[in-house]
Amino acid sequence: MEKNPPDRTGPVHVPFGHIVANEKWRGSPLTQGMQGKIKVIFEAGLTPVDFYLSSRSCILYITEADLVAGNSYRKRLVVVRNSGNLKGIVVVEKTQMSEQYFPAMQKFTVLNLGMVLLPVASHMEASSLIVQLVQEQTKEPSKNPFLRKKPALISEPSLLRTVQQIPGIGKIKAPLLLQTFPSIQQLSNASIQELEPVVGQAVAQQIHAFFTQSR
Amino acid sequence: FSGAYGPSSRLSLAGTHAPSRLPQEGQRTCILVDSREIASGSEVISFLRATHGFQVEVCPLNGCDYIVSNRMVVERRSQSEMLNSIHKNKFIDQIQYLQSMFERICVIVEKDREKTGDTSRMLKRTKSYDNLLTSLVAAGIRILFSSCQEETADLLKELSLVEQRKNVGIRVPTVVTNTGYEALKFYLSIPNVSCVTALNLCHRFPSVKKMTNSSPQEISMYAQVTPQKAEEIYRYMHYVFDMQMLPNGPNQSREKSDA
């Protein structure tokens, strides 16, 4: 079976724990800062992408000069955004010089295109952030606190709390009601006659009214 | 619970029997703001109000800073808090709490206000900060950066307009009647149900009984939640209570746990 379909620009193969960088970054302080921490592979002809974190996720690097020069960077973002299954992360140099252009850039990138945007102040900051992005990709998803599945909670204490929100029901009557009508749905369908033996006439009417009255 | 949720005669829903209120064309965009934000983000609120045509409702949201649509919550954080690893675990807990209720989360990282005479103090970017950012990115949580409260207000406005365009804007009144208030408190006690979902349940179901007898599909449609969340609510309504499962015995159930 053929593994690699004939393609135009990608997918680019990125070995585990590596980053594939556009040839133009060879020898730059940006990639020098990464070396020693992750392996950088240079490849020509990657434009518009600057770095590939994996075959499906890439970095577009917008320099201070790009930002100050005008909106020409936008074309690059749109090309990546429209390319089916490639997820683009935009890293932008937000410096004293380019700061004023940042808000408009952020609106375009995050709110219009729905891409990720991360500002950096220098090449130094950029290289450690990119190293962090590579490390994030290589670690197991369960190590990410925001992807961790939380264990299901026991519903009983919540159910008691929910039943206590019904007018007339406090700590004592809530468990009594749930012992006779074991789910909220069953409790909501109970008639006044069925409720009376458990909570008395007045409260039975209150419960029934709570469930049935229109709001 | 008090404030905007409180009993009010301004808006009487009695007599509204239709299961869903039809969204009005051109209705004002609504943002719910947590009452705690009055202290820390008063300018954000003022700017939001000043923005023409915005309905800002300040109410107790139990730790959700801003709710901009039926599915999206916005957490506003100062940059110094994000940079300092001391606050990291608290931040993670907060985001996990929001994840239990909302489909979409956005974090706005706001630059700290510069104190006069304190210009020399430059905040250094930390590894812990980068680590937080990349974890958020990997989990699909949106991040926006703001330089001041005014800009935060502008970003909130843009976010809610985008959500509005996607047809998930908040379309129910935030005021409820006396009986509505009781129902609201009841809906809010359902685990992992946000304030905006509770409001939707309150306004779109003619009675609580109607809601408890609804199918997951109906809950999803009226409460404006994902099918998964609707299923979760449905299962809670049908969950069979077992006294033996109470952790502290029947008589020691906690009154109310505030998250």
Q: Measured between beta carbons, which residues in chain B are less than 8 angstroms from residue A128?
A: 125, 127, 130
pLDDT-based confidence at A187, cuts 50/70/90?
Answer: very high
Q: Beta strands of chain A (E only): which ranges?
A: 18-22, 39-43, 51-52, 57-62, 87-93, 116-120
Give residue B24's pLDDT: 45
**What are B52-63's pLDDT values in tens digits?**
668 899 988 988
Give residue B171's pLDDT: 87
Take residue A210 and report the two structure tokens written for it: 């709570």
Q: Which of B224, B200, B171, B195 is nearest to B63 (CA)?
A: B195
Give residue A177's pLDDT: 96
* Residue B122 pLDDT > 50: yes
Note whether B145 and A106 are within 8 A (CB): yes
Least confident of A7-21, A56-70, A79-93: A7-21
* Residue B259 pLDDT > 50: no
pLDDT-based confidence at B7, cuts 50/70/90?
Answer: very low
| pTM of structure | 0.87
* Helix H or strand E segment including B66: strand B66-67
Q: Are A144 and B14 a contacting pair at CB < 8 A?
A: no
* B206 contacts chain A (CB < 8 A): yes
Percent of chain B with pLDDT over 90: 68
Helix (H, G, I), strand (E, B), or coil: what is residue B58? strand
- CA atoms within a 13 Å half-sphere pointing along the CA-CB vector of B112: 16
> Which of B105, B130, B152, B231 is most worth mutating to test chain A (most A CB atoms within 10 A of its CB)?
B130
Q: Measured between beta carbons, which residues in chain B are less than 8 angstroms from residue A147?
A: 138-139
SS (H, E, C) A133-162: HHHHHHCCHHHCCCCCCCCCCCCHHHHHHH
pLDDT-based confidence at B119, cuts 50/70/90?
Answer: low
* Residue B65 pLDDT > 60: yes
Give residue B1's pLDDT: 41
Q: Rounded distance, CA B206 to CA B209, Å?
A: 9
**What are B67-102's pLDDT values in tens digits?**
999 999 999 999 999 999 999 999 999 999 999 999
**What are B185-234's pLDDT values in tens digits?**
999 999 999 999 999 999 999 999 999 999 999 999 999 999 999 999 99
Q: Which residue of B has its CA nearest to A94?
A: B145
Q: Which residue of A has its CA nearest to B90?
A: A145
Q: Are B253 and A171 a contacting pair at CB < 8 A?
A: yes
Give residue B248's pLDDT: 66
Give residue A139's pLDDT: 87
Sheet containing B29-34: give its strands across.
B54-59, B29-34, B66-67, B72-78, B104-110, B142-146
* Residue B13 pLDDT > 80: no
Q: Give the closest-approach CA distance of A102 to chain B in angstroms.
A: 9
* B136 contacts chain A (CB < 8 A): yes
Note whether B241 and A178 are within 8 A (CB): yes
* Residue B244 pLDDT > 70: yes
Q: Are B145 and A119 a contacting pair at CB < 8 A?
A: yes
